[in-house]
Structure 1
Amino acid sequence: MLRQMVRSRNVRQLLAIAGLSLSLAACQTAGLNGTADFDRNAGTADNIASLNQVIAQNPNDANAYNIRGTAYGRSGQYSLAIQDFTNAIALNPNFHQAYANRALIYKKTNSPQQALSDYNRSIMLNPSYDVALIGRGDLFRTQGDPGRAITDYNQAIASKTRDPRAYYYRGLIFQQQRNHSQAIEDFTYALSLDASNSDAFNARGLSYLAQNDMRGALGDFSNAVRLDRDNYRAWTNQGLALEKEGDYKRAYDSFQRAKAIESNYQPAIDGMNRTRKRRFN
């Protein structure tokens, strides 16, 4: 009976038992922390043990390897993740999701050329695959090629992606180019798709600050630190906005909070030095 269950038409049931659905095949989450990241809690030992059984019983199922690779990636076992994605591709050379997943691991392990090659292959197989377009765009962005990055983000957006990273990362480029109005528009749309991300509020707050919109900036920095009490950059930026408003006591408190989280963060240290005496005036 068990052998019948592991046939391809029933592999989905076994994967569900393992605690991972087929929707995890893309493996990238929508975290807006600069690079696509994994949820480490999803790659539990129990899930991996169950997936080991699935693969042992059905060793030619490419999707099972792809999903176990996802679990390995989420638990930080990157070499094992690469092995599984490579096995998935060997079994199904047109598996565009597995190429994108392996690309993400290569990107996380500082192998940008291998990552680019896999993203290119994934996009060649499926030109509208938003996960690969956003991933490659992020690779271009972090490698200092904003033009090609924006092209990929635009293509992902044209494919009607619901992934907020496309807008967030494009907004970061606009912000670097001092196009703050467009950056704010992108950050706002990203937040409409995911209002729980501290970094997006912090980024939009910086563009409001650049436009001297203190109310908008302080509101966003407050939301950023509310969502992530350890976001020392947002605490520092809140301090900058308060300092600009002349509220030196609260500014000092914000800088101090940032330094308590990241003791060597120079902008927070500098802010404390500027406001230490003035907070008593």
Structure 2
Amino acid sequence: MHKKLTKFSILIVIILITNTNTLLAQNGTTEQNPRTADAFYNRGGKYFQEQKYDLAIADYTKAIALNPKFSDAYLNRGVSYKKKEQYSEALADYAKVIQLEPREPAVYKNQGIIYEIQKNYELAVANYTKAIEFGGKNYPELYIYRGNIYLNNMEKPDLAMADYQMSVKLLPKDATGYNNIGYVYSTKENFTQAITNYTKAIEIDPKFLLAYINRADCYDAIGNTKLADLDRKKYSDLGGEISATSGNTKRSIYPQGSFDAALAKSALSRGLSRIEGRACSKIDGLIFKAGGAKVVLFPVTPYLEEWYALRDKKEGKKISVYMSKEANKYAIEAFTDGEGRFSFEGLKPGKYFIQMIHNFNQLKTNRVYTGSNTAMQGNTQMITNYYRDEDYVVERSQRVERFVEIKKDGEVKKIGLSKGLIKGCDF
């Protein structure tokens, strides 16, 4: 399944911190002819709401002139500068707010937004973190902002997941958090959990486009094309655009079950047993030793057994069956020597799956026609054809694998790793 980096919504909402009730209470005369810092500030707020940012900035500036410690005026003027994309001026005002009110969460939020726009992600995260620290539950959307940066820009999916989970805890009726949790699970190729969260997002918001198309991709990934097609149709019916594609491309599918990392880790904990082996391949009656090949050992878990059964049932010219990236992390690698020998040490009793992809070149010879000669022998015409032998190389690749069980601690298991029994390939 190809990786998608932007298949979830990023909601950035800038909230002007102002006292709306105060604004509405001002009389027309004061708005038209203000004389105090508060009056200029309130009229500036009115101009801001009308998107008259230059007039708002002018009034906030007058309010600051009358009251140099008016932190809200600095903050709102900074937001107005931000609206005009004058980021340096906005940051200067935010710095003044921090000097006057070092624990004001709104300034860290708005400062973080500017740093994110400028792609200074470390500073953006630092400011969102400060806003969360000082603002607490009043700023639940910041968990989405920060989680998006962790996932998209800093390659920290576990931190992103923690933030999205906090967002759904604080905003249980917001579909965005569930959609983003689903996306993190899909990047880990845990498609069942991803589908569960996309479904939750759709239950909250039946018109959430991204959740439908994301869930469709996950249904495809576990081989359920019928449900995938239904989700794509719903996505299209709601206004989403899907381009026509060829039906001849090879599909990749994965097991439906969730991978149990704790179980796999336990299965690979230290023991006293050892597996020794020798790997080779046989083509056209010739034996090729697997020198310098990578051999991988996996603990046999329910997830691996499901993958193996699915591959046996579904894999072919149009379908490839894979384990998740996380499942592939819980494996031990070894490399063969020149004779194809390898070993895995420190194993505990249990069942293991060993796999090798043996890539090698086979030298072959072909007889090539080079011409002929015609001569008369009496009344008979004789034709002599000439040939030469030409060597060429055929690239070969064989997937070789087997299950091995260690029954008691301290056991040494000796195996041959090849397709079928090959005399001369035993350890």
* TM-score bin, normalised by smaller chain: 0.5 to 0.7
| Higher RCO (Cα < 8 Å, 6 or more apart) | 2
Closer, same or farther: CA 213–92 of 1 in aligned 2, 3 Å: farther
Closer, same or farther: CA 154–58 of 1 in aligned 2, 3 Å: same
**Cross-structure match for 2:195:** 218
The equivalences for 1:79-158 within 5 A come to 79-158=54-133
Gaps of 5+ in 2: 1-8, 252-427
Q: Distance in 1 between matches of 2:15 and 2:135?
A: 23
TM-superposition CA deviations, 1:109-138 (whole Å, max 9, x none): 333222222222222222221111111112
- The amino acid across from 2:157 in the alignment is H
- Residue 183 of structure 2 contacts residue 214 of structure 2 at CA under 8 Å; is this kept in 1? yes
Q: Residue 252 in 1 paired to residue 229 in 2?
A: yes
Q: Distance in 2 between matches of 1:218 and 1:164?
A: 24
Farther off after superposition, 217-226 or 166-175: 217-226
Instruction: Judging by fraction of residues, say which structure has more helix.
Output: 1
TM-superposition CA deviations, 1:24-52 (whole Å, max 9, x none): xxxxxxxx95322359xx98xx9977545
Given candidates 182, 190, 194, the residue that maps to 2:159 is 182
**Cross-structure match for 1:5:** none
Q: Quote the RMSD (CA, aligned, Å).
A: 3.7
- The amino acid across from 1:115 in the alignment is A
Closer, same or farther: CA 252–93 of 1 in aligned 2, 3 Å: farther
**Cross-structure match for 1:14:** none
Given candidates 12, 15, 25, the residue that maps to 1:35 is 12
TM-superposition CA deviations, 1:164-214 (whole Å, max 9, x none): 133222211211223211111111112222223333332222112112333
The equivalences for 1:234-249 within 5 A come to 234-249=211-226
**Cross-structure match for 1:232:** 209
- The amino acid across from 2:179 in the alignment is N
Closer, same or farther: CA 219–77 of 1 in aligned 2, 3 Å: farther
User: SS in structure 1 opposite 2:136?
Assistant: coil
Percentage of identical aligned residues: 27
- Residue 115 of structure 2 contacts residue 121 of structure 2 at CA under 8 Å; is this kept in 1? yes
Tell me the CA shift for residue 145 of structure 1: 0.7
- Residue 23 of structure 2 contacts residue 42 of structure 2 at CA under 8 Å; is this kept in 1? no
Larger radius of gyration: 2
Q: Distance in 2 between matches of 1:146 and 1:197?
A: 25
Q: Distance in 2 between matches of 1:250 and 1:105?
A: 47
Q: Distance in 2 between matches of 1:120 and 1:245?
A: 51
**Cross-structure match for 1:12:** none
Farther off after superposition, 112-121 or 169-178: 112-121
- Residue 54 of structure 1 contacts residue 64 of structure 1 at CA under 8 Å; is this kept in 2? no
User: SS in structure 2 opposite 1:151?
Assistant: helix
Closer, same or farther: CA 230–174 of 1 in aligned 2, 3 Å: same
Aligned residues: 238
Farther off after superposition, 89-98 or 203-212: 89-98
**Cross-structure match for 1:203:** 180
- The amino acid across from 2:68 in the alignment is P
**Cross-structure match for 1:273:** 245
Q: How does the TM-score come out when normalised to structure 1?
A: 0.68
Instruction: Judging by fraction of residues, say which structure has more strand.
Output: 2
Closer, same or farther: CA 192–246 of 1 in aligned 2, 3 Å: same
Q: Distance in 2 between matches of 1:70 and 1:226?
A: 38
The equivalences for 1:156-167 within 5 A come to 156-159=131-134, 161-162=136-137, 163-167=139-143
Closer, same or farther: CA 127–195 of 1 in aligned 2, 3 Å: same
Gaps of 5+ in 1: 1-31
- Residue 252 of structure 1 contacts residue 276 of structure 1 at CA under 8 Å; is this kept in 2? no
The equivalences for 1:4-15 within 5 A come to none
